[in-house]
Structure 1
């Protein structure tokens, strides 16, 4: 082949992989550009400003700079309900961590404290000036599961479940500079943050939780007696788990996973197996969301094994209910039914007054909600089966009624209203579906939760696709476009 003539240019090859995902998504170039800009603002990358011509150049083969590849990966992952890696889109990431690099961390107290302290500081600072998520990647499969199994392995055959930071051991029996009243106030603050999250969604107070977490890890780098250190580790785990859950709620998936992994490390240092099981359950919810039910099930079984002799009946019931969700998404009908029954039977033994604060959300209404979503998911897996939809309906109705007068769990109320809307769509009742989804919009305007907004949009788009000529559905679509904020503010 002869040399190129002077001044000749090399034509870029169209990005066939990105084009394939883009066509299947059903998005227009303008809609994808708007979603990229919205996600960039949500994650703090305020310098990103994308338009249709830029999207066209990506499709034609131009390689975008970070954070665009990561944003596109997350958007397509959420659109298709599975992990769509940067490489699957035919793009290059500026940062390629090794397999498990973001979750396979040292299981030791000092390193755990340092990692949480540094990560929370980066979140606080880069959230204002840059893009934290660009340095993170979601882990799944063995890269996630194998490191998590080590939370049950003691540091030495004769030692305690987890080592405390060496400074705590050096402190011996000396009193801490933290008084009992101060410790109780710190612990009460975590409870208050959880109530705010349930009532207002993850977008309103996420940075406040991250800031409090950073302060507590500062305290953990000082010398304290062993009992105080354990309480500080437990508080660190609780706050890191909440930061992870809030990040998940606003759509920051890699950030959420990193916080949850770090929270599990801190729970191990505290020797709190039930709290560790709860953190693993949050990780399993994320895996179900990302269409990784097999990974979710492995995490849940790890949680159940690790807390089998220590978790309360309420916590065990919650784990069984999530197990049912995982089985439903795997299409395993009999195992799903069995897990639902186990959740109901175990919940009958609950003693809410004896439960830790972090499981207080799992009340009778939440049990009905989980069971309803399990049956609803079975209906989708079975090809929109009306049989499973009719099983979901009475459970979802009990959940909606249970949350109707609950002024704390407003996000759960909104999620179950839109859940009821999706059940009515499966039952081919578009008017009822539109009514419940409109009720969810009313709550969503008060709740800063991208998760709620996304579910409302998904249910509305499904209604328009299947029943676009029904007046109630037309009204729902009009109201969605007018009232539900399309641009989420930075968390």
Structure 2
């Protein structure tokens, strides 16, 4: 009965699949992998860890990403609940930082001929998914994004293309993988996000896209800071800066410096944070939007102000944080619901830090209204952190009502 189900495409448990591959290997005298026996979709701890490898063979990255996305789509607990391995950031950081231009062999696949129009389609589709992420959170349309990689992007990587087209293709595919990683991070799937980001960085390196590689290191820095790995966050942000000097646009470099400032703030280093943030402001003021890639278009004056608000909130400098938060709220397009919710909650925290809990509650209530049905674990953490800050004021009428409302609306908290 089990064999019949497997032949019909039902995947066995990881341990069973491994036993089958081992038994067939002993019988044939040849080492068979899970992919060789048609069970590559089965996830095991060993196959999941391939996502942490920064492979020397660039063409292998596409298949490793395909494995991740399939497991992501299957909601396999080993993938969804994978943990972050902090030490796994080190090799990609150093390898990317010290890398030199590498030859990218032309594709010789037979399934599809890849041209410029295919790459434009990938980039435009990625931008559409990116807008959905900003407006509705990383949990919205993630399955569609993963399916898009599996069905539309992965076959292109196996297709036929010239070296020049191949570099653009790898860069475009890296953008898709970056967004898969970012949305996984926003949804709280941190181990999966780390693996997507590492593979995306390898694609960017193969493409020779140093600016996009810097962005991926900046994203890794953002995640490391969120998880409390402040020193690694600083290193990742600095690697983004050093590895793209003379190449990154001013806007992009300002975003890398802002990530470093955020990490210093999380680490409680006021002086280093202020220095990095001033440098970010200085470089941002000299920017020419015409130099920017499309994917950095979100990083405008409002976004930089928002980074400042986070920095000075973490440093417990509420008045300065409020100034940045107010500037951000004035300039942010209402389209960016997640950003507006974040900044309202940052602003609320600064009022708690000044012992004004009722004002904090008023702002937090606005943030929750703006968020609506936002699917973002990061947003929920902002709410949770604020509730923790407000706990000492729970006997205050307004605070008590707010805490009750949050408990009703977000029972998981």
* TM-score strictly above 0.5: yes
CA distance, structure 2, for counterparts of residue 269 and residue 226 of structure 1: 11
Would you say 1:442 and 2:389 are equivalent positions? no
State the TM-score, normalizing by the size of structure 2.
Answer: 0.83
Query: What's the counterpart of residue 469 of structure 1?
Result: 395
Q: State yes or no: 1:312 paired with 2:249.
A: yes
Of residues 129, 132, 140, the one that matches 2:86 is 140
Tell me the alpha carbon deviations over residues 385-407 of structure 1, each in whole angstroms, 9 at most, x when there is no partner. Answer: xxx1222111111112222xx13
Aligned counterparts of 2:307 and 2:160: Cα–Cα separation in 1: 43
Q: State the Cα deviation string for residues 88-131 of structure 1 (Å, max 9, x = none).
A: xxxxxx98769x8652331322211111122112212x21x654
**2:321 maps to which residue?**
392
Q: Which residue of 2 aligns with 1:333?
A: 270
Q: In the superposition, relative to structure 1, how do residues 281 and 287 fare at CA in structure 2: closer, same or farther (>3 Å)?
A: same
The alpha carbon displacement at 1:213 in A equals: 1.9
Match of 1:187 in 2: 123
Contact 2:132 2:141 (8 Å CA) reproduced: yes
Q: Which residue of 1 aligns with 2:102?
A: 162
1:335-390 alpha-carbon deviations (Å, 9 max, x no partner): 111111111111101223431122111111111111111111112xxxxxxxx122
Equivalent position of 2:346 in the other structure: 419
Residue 12 of structure 2 aligns with which residue?
none
- SS of the residue corresponding to residue 102 of structure 2 reads coil
Q: How does 1:230-309 map to 2 (within 5 A)?
A: 230-309=167-246
Shift of the alpha carbon at 1:268?
A: 0.6
Aligned partner of 2:95 among 150, 153, 161: 150
Distance 1:336 1:101, change over 3 A: same
Conserved in 1, the CA contact under 8 Å of 2:309 and 2:343? no
Aligned to 1:344: 281
- Contact 1:417-1:437 at 8 Å conserved across structures: yes
- Give the deviation of 1:188 after TM superposition: 0.6
User: Cα deviation per residue 1:70-102 (whole Å; 9 max; x = unaligned)?
Assistant: xxxxxxxxxxxxxxxxxxxxxxxx98769x865
TM-score, normalised to structure 1's length? 0.71
Q: Which of these residues, 108, 112, 120, is aligned with residue 61 of structure 2?
A: 112
Q: Distance in 2 between matches of 1:96 and 1:131?
A: 7
Which whole-Å CA distance do the structure 1 matches of 2:268 and 2:412 have between them?
Answer: 34
1:251-299 deviation per Cα after TM superposition (whole angstroms, max 9, x unaligned): 1010010001111011011110000000011100111011111000111
SS in 2 for 1:408: coil
Q: CA deviation at 1:231?
A: 1.6
Q: CA RMSD in A?
A: 2.3
Deviation at 1:457, TM superposition (A): 2.2
> CA separation of 1:107/1:409 partners in 2, compared to 1, >3 Å: closer, same or farther?
farther
Per the TM alignment, residue 204 of structure 1 is displaced from its structure 2 partner at its CA by 0.7
**Residue 273 to residue 179, structure 1, CA distance change in 2 (3 Å):** closer
Match of 1:482 among 405, 408, 411: 408
Q: Distance in 1 between matches of 2:134 and 2:328?
A: 15
1:457 aligns with 2:397: no
Cα deviation 1:178-197 (Å, max 9, x = unaligned): 45434322211011111111
Question: 1:207-246 counterparts in 2 under 5 A?
Answer: 207-214=143-150, 215-246=152-183
Contact 2:266 2:315 in 1 (8 A): yes
Unpaired runs of 5+ in structure 2?
1-42
Q: Distance in 1 between matches of 2:394 and 2:219?
A: 36
Shift of 1:148: 2.4
How many pairs were matched up?
A: 368
